[in-house]
Every structure is written in structure tokens, then in C-alpha cells.
Structure 1
Amino acid sequence: MRKSTMRIAATAVGTVALVAALAACAPAGSGNPQEPVTGAAPVETPEADEFGVVLADSWKDIYPGQYATYKANEANSPEGKMNYLEEYPELATMYAGYGFAKGYDEAASHSYTLRSISETPRVNDKTLANCITCKTPQFTAMVNSEGDEVYARPFAEVLAQMSEPISCYNCHENDPTQVVVTQRHFAHAMGSDAEQVPVEAQTCGQCHNEYYFDPDTKATSNPYEGLAAMDAEAILAYYDEMGFKDWEHPETGAPMLKAQHPEFETIYGAEQSSMAKQGYSCADCHMAPVSDENGEYSSHELVSPLENPAITEQCGSCHKDIAGEVRGWQKEVTDREHAIAADIKRYTDELAAQKDSLDADKLAQAQQIQRHAQFYWDYVMVENSEGAHNYKAAHANLDKAEAQLEEGFALLGIA
């Protein structure tokens, strides 16, 4: 069984729940990015909750079309999702000693972010509130109001106060006529480069990105500043320079890293994808324009563009068979992921067997190879498009993983 061709992965710490899959062409027939469509501004903003968040239900009569399509995301539930630990049995070795070895399932939609984080086996009594980042607008508002110290509070204590999954506030604050980046750490990471990327992409990217928890403050942070530093090699160098690790592998002693879900970096970072270079946003491919009894607006049911003819029809000016192209890209990337995962497991097992016989310098070199090879692989595997967002970058990172492993096997004397 291959990975789903439309994974909806997580955009938050410690778990996975995003809602995007394949990048194709934007729906605008002119080839220009689609402008966001909104309804008329409400005469009066509904009352906010104790966190200062206007809940989605409060907007339903003012923006009925947007609300109805937002609620349609509930059809993408946690039931029947792929178990990645079964799909990639090598992960039991690769993630050994880390929470993802306990449970790693294909994510459901934004509607289930709080349910997913509350049910995952990856949390325990030592888990901090930073794992709630991007799971609910109420936590975002709490951090923005009270400061970074919120991240270090006990997970269970803070989660018990939350009730709203990802909703309007995350991308609009309390004004649906505006598109806003509410995650301040991501706004900081973008810096002046924010002017180079559509804000509709940044509101998705603020949660669909690579991040880590600051070792001192426990704050959710990004390992870069500016677009040029948003690629796997630069991020790996950032972590190496600061001596950061997510965990130590129990069998080899290697200081390991767990990539998150670097959709934004894959599309807009460094060399950028072809779609990014043309100025397209995530909304162009994942939020189709709608015209119905509620007026003209962008659908808030977030799906693969291949599932929406209104979008795929517009791809024909550049792609003769966009569905076929995407399937081809995904098969190539997924096949390589499986092959390289087997090699990473073999290398890890061999390093574990030889660890006690290696001198300190050789052991450190071998451990760094494990760290680097697995990070390059993980960076591709956890990105939610199977290579479709930027297949050139996906293959380049898999090439780097293979190069690391080739060096590692030679170091250990393995053919």
C-alpha cells in the first residue's frame, strides 16, 4: 500500500493535521493568481470568547457560504486513516526512542485538530503546551496576549481550556475581510521577505512549516530568517550550528532531528517551485472560487486541486494531463522514499552493531551521517504532496540522503 496521494497533514507541534495535498495550476484562466473573494463586511463583529476569539459558529449567518464550506471539512475525519508505521515499517527503527514511534497516522482535516492532539499517544505528563501550537485559534490568541511563557505551561492544563479547532481567527483574526498571519514566530521568520509572497500563502505557511521548540524558552520557533534560508540543507546547518537535537537514538547514540511538515519551505523557500515563481498562492490551488446563492467567495473546504474540476480545468493551459503528471511525480518520489527508508534502517542497524568498536571520531562521523541522511529523507516524506509541490526539490533532498548513506556505508565497511 502506497501513501495516500492526498494526505492532509498537521500543522502543529508534535502531531500532524494539515489540509493540502497536491499543487497544480491556479484556477485563474488568465494565468494570474486568483484574488481572494470575500463577502461584504459585517456591520458588527460578533462577541468574542474569553480568549478574544470570535468563534466560527458566530459568523455562520454573516458568511453562510464560507461557513458551510468550512464545515464540509468535517467529512475528512480521523476514521480509516493510514497508519504510517505500518506503511513504513522501517520507522520503528528510524524513530526509535521518539514519540512518533508510538503513533503516526495520516491526519484528518482542520476540523479535528483538537481531537487529534488529545488522542495521540505521543503526548505524556511531561508534554508542554507548545504542542498545541496551530491546533486552535484560542491558543494562538493566548500566546499573542500573554507572551511566550504560555508555551512552557503544562499541556493538559492548557488543552483543557481549548474548545475551537482551527477556524476563522487563524487566518483572519476577527475580521473576515482581512487575511492575517497570526503566528508571530512565523511572521518574524519571514521578516522583510513577507513582501515577496502572497499573504494567502503565508497564512497557510504559518502552520505548514518546519519548526522546533526553543531549548530555553520552549517557544515554537522556525530555524531560519528569510526565504533564502528555507531549504533542507540550510535548516540542517542551522540545527547543527546550535547543537540542537529532538532526541538521541537509543541504539546508536546519534543526536536525531524530526522534520515536521515543510510545505511552505518546499514551495516558497530558496529556489522555489515553478508555481511560487509565477506568484501563485496556496489558495489558488486549494480554495476554489464559488458563485452561488450566497454570492461569490472562496470555498473553505480545503481539498486537493485534483478533486475540483473548477481548478483542474484551468491547469490545461500549461499541463496536458495534470492528474497524470502528478501521479507520475508522486510515484517516483514515494518509490524512492521506500527504497531509501530501507537503506536508512540497514545503516542504523549496522551502526548500532559496530558502535562499541568504533573510535570516538569515527563514531561521531557515523552518527552525524545517520542524523543528516534521515533528516533529508524525513523532510521529503512528511511534506504533504508526495513531491507534487516541488518534485525537483524532493528529488534533490532524496539525492542528498542517498549520498550521506553511501558515505556512511563506506565508513562502516559495508558494500
Structure 2
Amino acid sequence: MKKSPIIFTLCVLVTVPMVLLTMSIRENKAEQQAIGAVPAIKENETRASEWGKHYPRQYDTYMQTRKSDEIGDVLKDDPAIVVLWAGYAFSKDYNKPRGHYYALEDNINTLRTGAPVDKKTGPQPTACWTCKSPDVPRLIKRDGEMEFFTGKWAKYGDEVVNPIGCGDCHDSKTMKLTLTREHLKRGLDAEGSLKVADITHQDMRSLVCAQCHAEYYFKKTEWEDKGEKKTAAVVTYPWAKGFSPEQIEQYYDGYGFTDWTHQLSKAPMLKAQHPDYETFVTGVHARNGLACADCHMPYMREGGVKYSSHKVGSPLDNIGNTCLNCHKGTEKEFKETVELKLARKNELARQATDILARAHLEAAKAWELGATEEEMKPALQDIRAGQWRWDYAVAGHGAFFHAPEETLRTLANAISKGQDARLKLRIVLAKHNAADYVAPDFSTKEKAQTLIGLDMPKLIEEKKTFLNTLKQEWFKESEAKGLYDPASRKDMVLKTSY
């Protein structure tokens, strides 16, 4: 009889945890089912906070990209770059990328987009909005791709008002990853190694990123709208011959394409945008089947719920949950390895910018002394090729980690091409009695911008006027239309490098 209470107690001790565990499992399953159910999000919804009502964990992590808010002035760090981009908008203002939360804000605030006063003024085309907002695919659906890519950047200032968000990558009806930019589909089919029809889910976990993180140019395309002839600047991926810098260069050379003619050297220049996808696919991570999201959007767990973090940023911010899933060693050891790789890349990149800047200035002197086009052409082609390789290697900000060997190879070739240009220019200068020419000082951002003739006070004053007038009007108008999401600018503070 004495055993009964003991047995009863043991049964209770075993049964209660099992009941609690069963209840917990049921609750987790119910939550997972609720998450798996497709919510009613209206088509073309561009406000991330509306999606966040159904996916709070993903939205909360996305909003954490606000923490990546510091401005890193690239031109101040390496003033030679100002000389490299003389005559091009990047010589005015170029900063390291911040979090997705700031993508639209930084596009509006940069000196590169100028200071328009209405929808038809300013230096840039509408294509400069392409990667900054889910409002872009909405507008392309509404107006058509050709119309979207026609006109000035300011044309859509009161329509493109929500930063990179859910609608850039997800189908609102199914929640599946989807490609919202047709130029990526055309680029893939032109390159040929991965046809759109053969894309897998794992492929999509990189390709939704490649819609923006890739090299592109604005292809001038003639079209007709109700009898009116127009010209669209269509975002185009130059992948028809492959992804390497040499293959893309071959595409541009065959097409006869030039981004701009250099203000000093008169070289026909190419400007790399951000060839992250191109460098990624050549690296060891891609060869081992990883996708961008594996490292930049790792899976998280909260109770029994598994979801991907949308705090898109450097994997080094979360090494234990990203890199060390595959790599051995401690976080400290891993970070030291990465810092060494970055230092090597930076060393070669600085050598390349110094050499190329001096080549541009030496070419300018040769022109000043009366050099002929025939004398200058070989050196100018080397400048074009060298700067393209340098830009390709550094414009993809994670290239040194995506494909370190390829990045170092490309920078080495940039240095070689730059030196070839300088040797040829020395011969030209000697012919014109200037063999001892020494390039002027460009050791600070201010000296370099003055050297290439930029009136920075005027540019800054014009920009401030725009920021205090037309920019404010854009957001008021978009709010009246029901487009603007105030949550997308919560606690945002104006930060620039000028």
C-alpha cells in the first residue's frame, strides 16, 4: 500500500512534462501553420510595414538595417579616385553602402543625382531608381518598361518613395521568391549557363540579390509612343560573353560602349557599378552550392519557429551563425583571416588608383603640349582597360571575400595596364620635351576635386536647396497618394559626406 503514493507521484512527474511538451509542440505547429498560410497582401504593395503585419520577425530584422547608418567617404579615404572619375558624377560624391533601410535616402541625397527643380531637370535618367525601391516594379507594371526608362530621374520623385523591401523579392500572392526586374532575366538568358526556365529555389536565393548587385549599363533604346519617338535608357546586363572582367570588357568593346570620356585624359572610360554577383559566381562559395542568402540572411530560431534574418549585411557581424557553420576555428581567428585578405586587396587597390590617376594627369599634359590622337590612342586604351579592372575589383564591395584570388588577379592586371599606359605616355611626353613632367598634388579629396575643376560649394548649395524644397514635396505628394510608408523613415537622420 505504501508504494501507491510513490508510483502516483512518479506518474505525475512524468506525465505533466509530457503534457506540457505536447501543448508546446501543438502551439509551435499552429504557429508554423499560421506562418505558412499565405496572407492577404494586395498586389503591388510597396510598403514593407504592411508585409510586416504578417511576417513580424522578418520585418523586425529588416528594420535592424537601420543600425548600419554611418557614412564612409570613399573619396576622402583615397583621393586619387576623384581623378580617376574626372568628368563623371562619382567624382563629386561616393560613399560606402549603408543598410537597405537607407538605399533610397542615400540615392536622393547624393550629389551624383544633382539638384533638379522639376520633373524634367537634373543630370540623371530614371534608370537611377531601378535598384532602390519596390515602387520600381510597380511603376514598370503600370507604365511599361520603355516608359519607365524614359526621361529624367526626377520624373518619378513623388512615386519612388519606399526603400528596398519585401516587394522587391517576394510574390505577394504566394510569398515565393520572384524576379521583379526583367533585365536580370534577359541577362541570364544572354549569358546562357543558367536559363530562366531552369532556376531552382536555391538559385533564387542569389538571383533576387543579383537583380541589383550586378554590373549594368544604360542601353539607349529607341521606341515610339503613340507616334512620338522617344529614347529609353534601359538597364542592361553585359553578360552575353560571360561574367569575367575581360569578357564583359570584350562585350563593351564590341558594342562600342563608353560610359563617359575622361575630362583630363580624354580616354573612353567604363564605370563598373557593383559586380557582386559576377564575382560571387567565380568563387569557392558558389562552386560549393551556397547562395547569397546563406551568408547574408542566415536562418534564425525563435522557440519552434525557423525564419531567415532580413538584417542583410556583412556575415562578419554574425560569424557564429554564418561563417562558422562551414569553417573551422574561432570567431577571432576567422576575423583575422578576413582582415588579412582585405588588407591585401586594399594595398593593391591603392597602388592601382595612384598609377591610374598619374596616367590621366600625364595624358592631360601630353594633350596640352599638342600630342596627336594617333600618339595617344594606345595609352588611352590601356587607361580604359586598367581602370575598368580596378573598378570591377573594388566596386563589388565583398569581392575580396567572394572570390579573393580572382579579385587579386584583376587588381594585378589593373596595375600592369596602368603602368603600360604610363610608359607609353612618357614616350609621348619626351617627344614634346616634357620627359620630366611631375603630376600635381592630389593627396586630399579637396585638392583632387579642385584639380579637376569641381565647384563644390556651388554643387552643395544647389543640393541643399533641392533637399529643402523638391524632396520634401515628393514625400508630401506620395503620402497624399497613399504610397508613402512613414515607418520606412522612422527616426531617420540626414547624413552625407558633404
TM-score normalised by L of structure 2: 0.70
Q: In the alignment, what sits opposite 2:347? A: 335
Larger helix fraction of residues: 2
Residue in 2 aligned with 1:314? 325
Which residue, 267, 287, 291 being the options, matches 2:301? 291
Which amino acid letter does the alignment assign opposite residue 327 of structure 2? G
The answer to whether the Cα contact below 8 Å between 1:41 and 1:176 also exists between their aligned partners in 2 is no
**Cα distance between partner residues in 2 of 1:102 and 1:329:** 29
Q: Which residue of 2 aligns with 1:34?
A: none
Whichever residue aligns with residue 178 of structure 2, its letter is V
> Would you say the 8 A contact 1:97–1:248 is kept in 2?
yes
Aligned to 2:137: 140
Higher normalized contact order (CA 8 Å, seq sep 6+, divided by chain length)? 1
Aligned mates of 2:364, 2:73 — CA distance in 1? 26
Residue 73 of structure 1 is matched in structure 2 by 65
The aligned runs of 1:119-158 (5 Å cut-off) are 119-124=109-114, 125-145=122-142, 146-158=144-156
Which residue does the alignment assign to 2:379?
366
- Tell me by how many angstroms 1:318 deviates: 8.8
1:209 paired residue number: 214
**SS of 1:297's equivalent?**
strand
Which residue of structure 2 aligns with residue 114 of structure 1? 104
Match of 1:390 in 2: 403
AA of the residue aligned to 1:167? G
Looking at structure 2, the residues matched to 133 and 57 of structure 1 have their Cα atoms a distance apart, in angstroms, of 21
Provide the residue aligned with 1:347 in structure 2. 359
How far the C-alpha of 1:294 sits from its partner, in A, is 7.6
Partner AA of 1:286 in structure 2: H
Q: Structure 1 residue 72: deviation in Å? A: 1.1
Which of the numbers 276, 292, 297 marks the counterpart of 2:286? 276
Distance in 2 (CA, whole Å) between partners of 1:376 and 1:186 is 23
* Whole-angstrom distance in 1 between the partners of 2:209 and 2:272: 18
Note if contact 2:41-2:173 (Cα within 8 Å) is conserved in structure 1.
no
- Equivalent position amino acid for 2:81 in 1: L
Task: Specify which of 23, 35, 40 is matched with residue 40 of structure 1.
Answer: 35
Report if the CA contact (8 A) 1:114-1:136 is conserved.
Answer: yes
Partner Cα separation in structure 1 for residue 268 and residue 274 of structure 2: 20
SS across alignment from 2:35: coil
Q: Does 1:57 align with 2:46?
A: no
The answer on whether the counterparts of 1:38 and 1:177 sit within 8 Å (CA) in structure 2 is no
2:239 — aligned with what?
224
SS at match of 1:412: helix
Separation in 2, partners of 1:215, 1:39: 47
- RMSD, aligned α-carbons: 2.2
Name the CA distance, whole Å, in 2 between partners of 1:276 and 1:112.
28
> What is the number of residues matched between the two proteins?
369
User: What is the identity, as a one-letter code, of the residue corresponding to 1:116?
Assistant: D
Amino acid paired to 2:97: A
Q: Distance in 2 between matches of 1:55 and 1:174?
A: 12
2:432 aligned partner: none
CA distance in 1, matches of 2:396, 2:100: 17
Structure 1 stretches of 5 or more lacking a match? Answer: 1-36
Q: Mark the CA change 1:138 to 1:119 in structure 2 (over 3 Å): closer, same or farther.
A: same
Structure 1 pair 407–54 and aligned structure 2 pair: CA distance change class (3 A): closer
User: Are the counterparts in 1 of residues 100 and 163 from structure 2 also a CA contact under 8 Å?
Assistant: yes
Q: Which amino acid aligns with 2:87?
A: G
Query: Distance between the aligned counterparts of 1:365 and 1:224, measured in 2?
Result: 26
Residues 210-265 of structure 1: CA deviation (Å, up to 9, x unaligned)? 0000123301111113xx60111111111111111111111111111111110000
Q: Does 1:264 align with 2:277?
A: yes
Corresponding residue for residue 9 of structure 1: none
Check the 8 A contact 2:386/2:415 in 1, yes or no. yes
Query: C-alpha separation between the residues in 1 aligned to 2:243 and 2:184?
Result: 12
Query: Quick one: distance in 2 between partners of 1:159 and 1:41?
Result: 36
Q: Could you tell me whether the CA contact under 8 Å between 2:386 and 2:417 is conserved in 1?
A: yes
Q: Over residues 108-154 of structure 1, what are the superposed CA-to-partner deviations in whole Å (9 max), with x where a residue is unaligned? A: 11111221111111123132211100110111221244222211132
Amino acid at match of 2:287: K
Q: List alignment gaps of at least 5 residues for structure 2.
A: 1-31, 115-121, 222-231, 428-434, 436-498
CA contact (8 A) 1:344 1:374 kept: yes
Q: Classify the secondary structure of the residue corresponding to 2:295.
A: helix
Distance in 2 (CA, whole Å) between partners of 1:263 and 1:39 is 36
> Please, which of 221, 238, 246 is the counterpart of residue 251 of structure 2?
238
Q: Hey, what's the Cα distance between the residues in 2 that align with 1:127 and 1:39?
A: 45
Who is 1:199 aligned against?
204
Amino acid at match of 2:57: G
Query: Structure 1 residues 92 and 317 mapped into 2: Cα distance closer, same or farther (>3 Å)?
Result: closer
Kindly provide the CA deviation profile for residues 72-124 of structure 1, in whole angstroms up to 9, marking residues without a partner as x. 111112xx311111111102211111100110111211111221111111123
1:239 to 1:318, Cα distance in 2 relative to 1, 3 A = farther
Question: Among residues 331, 336, 349, which one is paired with 1:324 in the alignment?
Answer: 336
| Aligned counterparts of 2:109 and 2:413: Cα–Cα separation in 1 | 35
- Larger deviation: 175-184 or 68-77? 175-184
Query: Partner of 2:111: helix, strand, or coil?
Result: coil
What is the aligned partner in structure 1 of residue 184 from structure 2? 186
- Provide the C-alpha distance between the structure 1 equivalents of 2:38 and 2:327, rounded to a whole number of angstroms: 41
Structure whose CA Rg is larger: 2
Distance (whole Å) between structure 2 residues aligned to residue 310 and residue 44 of structure 1: 29
Q: Residues 42 and 54 (structure 1 numbering): CA distance in 2 closer, same or farther, change over 3 Å?
A: farther
Tell me how far 1:176 sits from its aligned partner.
6.2
| Counterparts of 2:219 and 2:87, CA distance in 1 | 20
What SS does the aligned partner of 1:162 have? coil
Q: Quick one: distance in 1 between partners of 2:81 and 2:46?
A: 40
Change (3 A) 1:293 1:389: same
Q: Which is worse superposed, 317-326 or 92-101? A: 317-326
